[in-house]
Amino acid sequence: MEYDLAILGAGPAGMSAALEAAGLGLSVLVLDEQPAPGGQIFRGVERAAADPALAGEYAAAGAELARRFRAMPGIDYRPETQVWHIDAEAGLLSLRGPEGAPRGGGTARAARILLATGAQERPVPIPGWTLPGVMSAGAAQILLKQAGAVPKGRLVLAGQGPLLWLLAAQLARAGKAPALLLETTPRGALRHALRQGGLWQGRAMLAKGAALVWEARRAGMKIVSGVRGLRAEGEGSLRRVAWEGGGTECDTLLLHEGVIPATHISRALGLAHEWDAAQRCWRPVLDAWGASSAPRIAIAGDGAGIGGWQAAAEAGSLAALDAAHRAGKLDAAARDRRAAPHRAAMAEALALRPFLDALYAPAPEVLAPRDDATTVCRCEEITAGQVRQAARLGATGPNQVKAYLRAGMGPCQGRMCGTTVAALIAETRGASMEETGVLRPRAPYKPITVGELADLPEEELA
């Protein structure tokens, strides 16, 4: 069967796109790696109302979106399904389903493909970040949402951004208030951010953020501001976190420096990308409907640029309207008329984004670690010093360093090191990120076994 629209991801953008498209009569396939809809922001949202640690942060809106998504006829929803290759020209997707599922693997075809794969956490390579006991804030939140698990012992958060305050409040509700937040936001950043505007339009979001800060402080979490030179210390496992001018014992350290678009698949497809100087990341080049440089491919949500779940949902609806127009279900006038309220809602959701981008801009040492001994590629155990040396010897971009050092060749395929490797090269050569370029991954997008490839029918290997 060929679908009118195949959607990768069942977060806010993917679910909204599926609802809009199915409501207009399109046949819709939704492929998602997770066992339930929601994406990261709404992970486990269908049961979150029963958990006081997770309720409150737009959980009602997320649960309602998931309910409508599951109830909508015309959506072929396949959870726990990976897309490991896309033939963009033919609209062919190669799938890997859950083990033992009769319909999860194989291939699917679609006239149009929407990437709604969301964001990933920005890597935070500090000395000692590979020690047991150090993990990302996002990983800790997944454990909390999926398993109700909280860290043991003395807990410290380090970094910046809204997610840290949200996680601090959620952990406090779960009975595990962090002892300390080491905030890396530079002094003076607030003054610069205030000049970006958008505060009145974004006042509801600001109020929500202020409430989380108050909740975390009320739970007893101490705060150290303007932190630089973070390092995790310990023999065999984390024992202490230190910074310029201070240090403290801890058992668990959660790191976070914001999120960036998950562009792994869009880069593997060779889509046009551009450097976003405000968000310090690469993002795909798209038109107002999310259409990419490839005729069949569109992108919506945080994978197109960080904007938050509300903007992502509106972007998903816009991409679906355009898909319906291309499929002949809507003429241009009807598409544009239906799009108007979504565009207005998106503009409102994005009003505070320039303020947040300026306030939480990562420091240079986050993008390019100062200590040459710091591991940047965890899979292949490549250090910052090795990358700098490769750049001094003539490597001009991350794809050359990948060939020289294997950085980016491990199981994560550069998801955890690609941006850091590029930043180190740019710093060493005195070049811009645009001149340095971006790591180009290849299919399979996620590791698969040789046996799985061998089991594919010949027509699927052609």
Nearest 5°: CA angle at 253, between 247 and 259? 120
Q: State the virtual CA torsion across 94, 121, 432, 126 in degrees, nearest 10.
A: -130
Peptide linkage before 444 cis (omega within 30 of 0): yes
DSSP state of 32: -
The phi, psi pair for 23, rounded to 5°, reads: -65, -20
Q: State the virtual CA torsion across 443, 448, 449, 453 in degrees, nearest 10.
A: -60
Residue 44 structure tokens = 């486990």
Local confidence pLDDT in tens for the 462 residues of the chain:
899 999 999 999 999 999 999 999 999 999 999 999 999 999 888 876 566 666 665 788 999 999 999 999 999 999 999 999 999 999 999 999 886 454 557 899 999 999 999 999 999 999 999 999 999 999 999 999 888 899 999 999 999 999 999 999 999 999 999 999 999 999 889 999 999 999 999 999 999 999 999 999 999 999 999 999 999 999 999 999 999 999 999 999 999 999 999 999 999 999 999 999 999 999 999 999 999 999 999 999 999 999 999 999 999 999 999 999 999 999 999 999 999 999 999 999 999 999 999 999 999 999 999 999 999 999 999 999 999 999 999 999 999 999 999 999 999 999 999 999 999 999 999 999 999 999 999 999 988 888 777 766 666 555
Residue 327: closest CA among 22, 92, 46: 22
Distance CA 31, CA 28 (A): 10
The per-residue pLDDT for 447 is 83
The per-residue pLDDT for 59 is 83
Number of other CB atoms surrounding residue 442 within 10 Å: 9
The per-residue pLDDT for 163 is 94
* 259-261 vs 252-257, strand pairing mode: unpaired
Residue 242: closest CA among 146, 359, 126: 126
The per-residue pLDDT for 52 is 64
Residue 77: closest CA among 24, 116, 35, 109: 35
Hey, what domains does the chain have and what are their CATH numbers? 2-118+262-330 (3.50.50.60), 122-258 (3.50.50.60), 368-436 (1.10.10.1100)
* 240-243 vs 231-233, strand pairing mode: antiparallel
Distance of CA 405 to the CA centre of its chain: 26
CA atoms within 13 A on the CB side of 390: 24
